[in-house]
């Protein structure tokens, strides 16, 4: 997602730079730094970490159960019939697939939750950047995280004031 964002920003900068003339007013802000400093983002990270820890604990429990059964079945394999061993092998295979499916589902749910929580924060930051940029008369406000040279006005403090933090 960051790569796509950086590619988009680079494209905007390239096309924007070719269209700018001497009278164009441009400012910059490090959007990632702004987002990291927003109180809402701290809360969002805490929510995501809590959810991640829940998934990790469940996954760890499942793996431990799998390993325990595997050791038990391997230890008893020589004393069991071939039919029992085949049934146990199928059970272990199914259990392994359930663990893999759980992991994949948990990752997807975590990504979805991150988008659900972070998008409104990003939208709020973007709106504040636009409002401050327009109020100060800038035609362009670029993300300084992807700039090689950011020698113009930095809107960070003004946007932080707009967001009241």
Domain that holds residue 76: 2-162
pLDDT digits (tens, 9 = 90+) for 16-57: 555 544 568 999 999 999 999 999 999 999 999 999 999 999
Provide the 8-state DSSP code for 80. Answer: S
Helix, strand, or coil (residue 20): coil
pLDDT digits (tens, 9 = 90+) for 75-114: 999 999 999 999 999 999 999 999 999 999 999 999 999 9
Q: What does the alpha-carbon distance between residue 49 and residue 156 come to, in Å, rounded to a whole number? A: 27
Provide the 8-state DSSP code for 38. Answer: -
What total number of domains does the chain contain?
Answer: 1
CATH assignment at residue 129: 3.30.910.20
Angle subtended at Cα 26 by Cα 20 and Cα 32, rounded to the nearest 5 degrees: 125
């Amino acid at each position: 997602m960051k790569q796509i964002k950086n590619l988009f920003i680079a494209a905007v900068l390239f096309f924007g730079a070719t269209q700018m003339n001497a009278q164009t007013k441009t400012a910059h802000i490090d959007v990632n730094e702004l987002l990291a400093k927003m109180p809402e983002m701290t809360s969002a990270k805490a929510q995501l970490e809590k959810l991640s820890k829940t998934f990790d604990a469940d996954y760890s429990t499942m793996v431990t159960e799998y390993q325990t059964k595997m050791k038990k079945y391997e230890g008893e394999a020589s004393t069991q019939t071939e039919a029992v061993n085949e049934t146990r092998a199928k059970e272990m295979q199914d259990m392994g697939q359930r663990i893999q499916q759980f992991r994949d589902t948990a990752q997807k749910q975590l990504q979805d939750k991150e988008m659900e929580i972070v998008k409104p924060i990003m939208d709020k930051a973007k709106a504040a950047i636009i409002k401050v940029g327009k109020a100060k008369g800038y035609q362009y406000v670029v993300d300084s995280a992807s700039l090689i040279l950011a020698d113009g006005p930095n809107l960070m403090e003004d946007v932080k004031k707009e967001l009241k933090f």
